[in-house]
Amino acid sequence: MNVLITGATGYFGHGFVKHLLDNNLAERICIFSRGEFAQHTMRQKFNDDERLRWFIGDVRDQDRLRRAMDGCDTVVHAAALKRIEVAEYNALECIATNVHGTENVVKAAIDAGVRVAVLLSTDKACEPVTTYGLSKAMAEQIFHSAINYAPLHHITDPVRNFETEVWRTDFRVCRYGNVAGSTGSIIPTWRKLLETQDWVPVYDPTATRFWMHRDEAIELVMQAIRKDAKQHDPIANTWIPTLKAYEVKDLALAMGARGRITTPRGQEKKHEAMRAGDTSDMAKRMTVEQLREALKNVE
Query: What residues are annotated to the active site?
Result: 124
> For the purposes of burial, counting CB atoms within 10 Å of the CB of 275, is it exposed (0-12), middle (13-18) or buried (19 or more)?
middle
33 backbone dihedrals φ, ψ, rounded to 5°: -160, 170
Contact present, 197 and 255 (Cβ < 8 Å): no
Give the DSSP H or E segment for 106: helix 101-112
Among candidates 99, 105, 143, 140, which has minimal Cα distance to 122?
140
N-terminal to C-terminal alpha carbon distance within the chain: 28
C-beta neighbour count of 108 within 10 angstroms = 26
Element (H, E) at 12: helix 11-22
Say if strands 208-211 and 244-247 run parallel, antiparallel, or are unpaired: antiparallel
The number of beta carbons lying within 10 Å of the beta carbon of residue 171 is 26
